[in-house]
Structure 1
């Protein structure tokens, strides 16, 4: 009995191992977050670390990479989350500037905002969104 369960788990791991977490999430559709109408723009959340040392954070939002992309927006934030309306199926990156113990730290994150049409997971066909978070928080 134990041998059969072990073999089943081993085969399952081998089959699922090549998939990243993001790819696995595409198999699971939350119908509460599925839109019947195709959105023109998507709310993308930008996350920041706001603390005693970094009460104001300067950031740059790019369409593309920070090195060779187009600067979409730059500014300061005093809140830990901001939302921008961005185009679907586009690649965006963020660069946030922090100070920690007198040194400057730059945090970079990137995502492809994806819009996918799903015909069968919910009661009616709808669009799902992925890649709608840019996490520029400090990691200690």
Structure 2
């Protein structure tokens, strides 16, 4: 059984850590803004086990003119659960949430290896490649609602 529900930001760490911050301290799983009232976190549970997470921040990026922007951060699915459409379900949940908030643009910094996944859902690259220290190559991607 698959269920997606709101979770606390600290709950995201059990998925963020092994997928996004492996071999780094658990404290590196906290992102600026995680604890703001305008930030929401969703967890995907498979048979009651948390296997995927996504966080949506109300955050404006100056490269876009849209007024009501949201940023996705910390999207991750446990390695053993990848390839089961869980990431797509989390992304769809985030998009639906942004619609309820009358958001008109979603953007994020995508890891290079995740770009094809996001492109399949209609996201476009809008930047040159850039490095995030100790994390890797990223691209800014976006999608308008």
More strand by share: 1
* TM-score > 0.5 by shorter chain: no
Instruction: Tell which has more relative contact order, 1 or 2 (C-alpha 8 A, sep 6+).
Output: 1
TM-score, normalized by length of structure 1? 0.27
More helix by share: 2
TM-score, normalized by length of structure 2? 0.26
